[in-house]
C-alpha cells in the first residue's frame, strides 16, 4: 500500500516499490489532479529510473493523459516546467538515498509540491480496489520529447542571479545524479570558473561517497585545486551544500543565514522573516534574533516551508539539509538557484565564503544519530521519559529532537548543546534508550 512520506513515495526498487505501483499512482494522479495538458516527467540516473519513468507514462497513457519526457533532469527542472506550462509534473527519484531505492515526487499544476489534502485524496484513490491495471509493455504511449525544456530551465535559472564571477573558481560535485544534465552551464553564464566532479553516472554510483551526503569529496577537491569554494548537490539536485576554501562545511542553515542577513541589510527580506524547520540549529535562531529577523519554524519537509512562505508572503526559507526556497525565483527547493544566490553574495560582498558564514551565525554543537528501527515497535513512553531527562539537563542551553524519518526506516535523534561533549553524551544516552526496539538487520 503506497503512502506519502516527507517527500513523495519511496522504497527499495522492485521490492518495496514496483512498476505496477507507479502505474497505479499515475492513474490516481490523473484522477485527482485532472490535467488538461500533458504531464511533464523527469528522472534521475538510477538504474531503475527508466523503468519507473516508463511506468508513469504507461499509467497516464492508459487513462488518456499525454506526457512530456524530459529524460534525466533535476527535480526543480520538472517543477519549473510544470510551472511554465501550468501542468502537473512527476519525478522519478529517491533523492539522497542509495541507488537501490527509488521513488516518485509529484507536482501540482503550477509546479508546487502536493499539499496534505491532495496527498490524502491520492492515497484514497490508490486504495480503490476496482482500479484497472495495465502493463508497461504494449501500452500505447502518448509521450513527446521534452528534452528542449532542459535548456530553457538552465537559461531561466541563470537569469535569477546578477553578478560577475570571473574571479571565482568553484568545484561542483554532481553526485553522479541529475545535476550532471545541467552543469556547468548556469554557473558559467556568470563567468565562474567551474570544475565539475562526480559527473559520470553508471546507474549505481549516484550519491556513492559523493554529493551532499558526503561533502568530504568536494572538500578534498577544493583543497587540492586551491579553489575559492565548493558546491555539492544531492541525487536529484533540489538541494545543495557548500564548503569554503579550507574545505569546512557550510550547511543549509548557514546558507540561509548568509542570504537572510544579506537581504535584510539591503531591505530585500519581506517581512524581515525567514522560515526554517525544527532541525535548524539553535545558533541560527540566536543570530537572527540579534539582527531583528523573525524566524518561523515548521515541521521537516520543504513543502511545509513552502506553505508557510506562502501563508506569510515571505521571501526566504529552507532546511539544514540544503533545501532552500526563494519563492520569487522558484516554486520549490532548487540547488542551482540556491548556488547562484550564494555565489552572488560572495561576489558582491567580495568576501570569502568562510568569512560570510562566520559573520552570519555561530553554530551550536549538534549531534545527529540515525537509528535503524521499525517505527511500529517504538516504546513511546520509554523514549519520552529519556527525552524529558535530557531536556532537564540541557535547560535553555540546548535542545533535543527525536523524530521518525519520512524518507528512510530510521529514527533521527538530534541533540544540541553548548559543547560537543555534552551533546554527544546526551545523544548516546538517547540512542541507548532506543536499543530495545526491533531494528533492521
Q: Using CA atoms in the order 204, 114, 160, 312, what is the torsion angle rounded to 10 degrees?
A: -140
Burial class (CB in 10 A: 0-12, 13-18, 19+), 77: buried
Q: Which residues contact 408 (CB under 8 A, 6 or more apart)?
A: 97, 370
Q: Which residues contact 227 (CB under 8 A, 6 or more apart)?
A: 169, 170, 171, 195, 221, 245
Burial class (CB in 10 A: 0-12, 13-18, 19+), 101: buried
Give the integer Cα–Cα distance in Å for 188 and 166: 9
β-partners of residue 278 are none
CA nearest to 172, candidates 206, 213, 210? 210
Give the integer Cα–Cα distance in Å for 7 and 343: 27
Helix (H/G/I), strand (E/B), else coil: 270: helix
Q: Is 374 left (phi over 0), alpha (psi -120 to 50) or beta?
A: beta
3-state SS track over 8-39: EEEEEECCCECHHHHHHHHHHHHHHHCCCCCE
Find where cell 540579534 sits: 290
CA distances from 390 to 137, 289, 356, 416, 424 (A): 56, 25, 33, 11, 12
Distance of CA 310 to the CA centre of its chain: 18
CA nearest to 46, candidates 12, 7, 81, 3? 12
**Cβ–Cβ < 8 Å for 288, 310:** no
**Cβ–Cβ < 8 Å for 179, 74:** yes
Find where cell 520549490 sits: 332
Give the integer Cα–Cα distance in Å for 353 and 345: 9
- Annotated catalytic sites, by residue? 95
Amino acid at each position: 500500500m503506497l503512502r506519502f512520506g516527507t517527500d513523495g513515495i519511496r522504497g527499495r526498487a522492485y521490492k518495496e516499490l514496483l512498476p505496477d505501483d507507479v502505474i497505479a499512482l499515475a492513474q490516481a494522479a490523473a484522477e485527482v489532479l485532472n490535467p488538461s495538458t500533458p504531464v511533464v516527467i523527469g528522472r534521475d540516473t538510477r538504474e531503475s529510473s527508466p523503468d519507473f519513468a516508463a511506468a508513469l507514462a504507461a499509467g497516464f497513457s492508459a487513462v488518456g493523459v499525454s506526457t512530456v519526457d524530459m529524460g534525466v533532469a533535476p527535480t526543480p527542472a520538472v517543477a519549473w516546467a510544470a510551472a511554465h506550462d501550468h501542468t502537473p509534473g512527476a519525478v522519478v527519484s529517491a533523492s539522497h538515498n542509495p541507488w537501490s531505492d527509488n521513488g516518485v515526487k509529484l507536482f501540482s499544476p503550477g509546479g508546487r509540491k502536493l499539499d496534505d489534502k491532495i496527498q490524502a485524496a491520492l492515497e484514497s484513490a490508490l486504495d480503490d480496489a476496482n482500479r484497472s491495471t495495465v502493463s508497461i509493455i504494449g501500452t500505447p504511449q502518448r509521450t513527446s520529447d521534452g528534452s528542449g525544456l532542459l535548456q530553457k530551465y538552465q537559461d531561466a535559472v541563470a537569469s535569477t542571479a546578477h553578478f560577475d564571477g570571473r574571479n571565482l573558481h568553484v568545484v561542483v560535485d554532481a553526485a553522479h545524479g541529475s545535476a550532471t544534465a545541467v552543469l556547468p552551464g548556469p554557473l558559467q553564464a556568470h563567468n565562474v570558473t567551474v570544475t565539475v566532479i562526480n559527473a559520470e553516472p553508471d546507474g549505481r554510483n549516484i550519491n556513492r561517497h559523493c554529493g551532499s551526503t558526503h561533502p568530504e569529496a568536494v572538500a578534498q577537491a577544493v583543497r587540492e585545486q586551491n579553489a575559492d569554494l565548493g558546491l555539492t548537490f544531492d541525487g536529484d539536485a533540489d538541494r545543495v551544500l557548500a564548503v569554503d576554501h579550507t574545505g569546512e562545511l557550510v550547511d543549509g542553515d548557514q546558507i540561509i543565514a548568509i542570504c537572510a542577513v544579506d537581504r535584510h541589510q539591503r531591505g530585500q527580506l519581506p517581512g524581515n522573516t525567514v522560515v526554517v524547520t525544527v532541525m535548524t540549529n539553535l545558533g541560527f535562531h540566536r543570530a537572527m534574533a540579534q539582527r531583528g529577523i523573525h524566524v518561523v519554524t515548521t515541521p521537516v519537509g520543504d513543502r511545509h516551508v513552502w506553505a508557510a512562505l506562502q501563508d506569510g508572503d515571505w521571501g526566504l526559507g529552507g532546511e539544514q539539509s540544503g533545501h532552500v526556497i526563494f519563492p520569487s525565483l522558484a516554486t520549490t527547493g532548487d540547488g542551482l538557484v540556491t548556488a547562484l544566490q550564494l555565489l552572488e553574495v560572495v561576489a558582491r560582498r567580495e568576501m570569502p565564503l568562510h568569512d560570510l558564514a562566520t559573520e552570519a551565525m555561530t553554530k551550536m554543537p549538534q549531534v545527529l544519530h540515525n537509528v535503524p528501527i521499525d517505527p511500529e515497535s517504538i516504546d513511546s513512553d520509554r523514549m519520552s521519559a529519556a527525552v524529558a531527562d535530557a531536556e532537564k539537563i540541557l535547560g535553555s542551553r540546548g535542545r533535543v529532537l527525536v523524530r521518525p524519518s519520512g524518507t528512510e526506516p530510521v529514527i533521527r535523534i538530534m541533540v544540541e548543546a553548548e559543547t560537543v561533549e555534552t551533546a554527544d553524551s546526551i545523544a548516546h544516552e538517547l540512542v541507548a534508550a532506543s536499543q530495545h526496539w526491533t531494528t533492521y538487520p
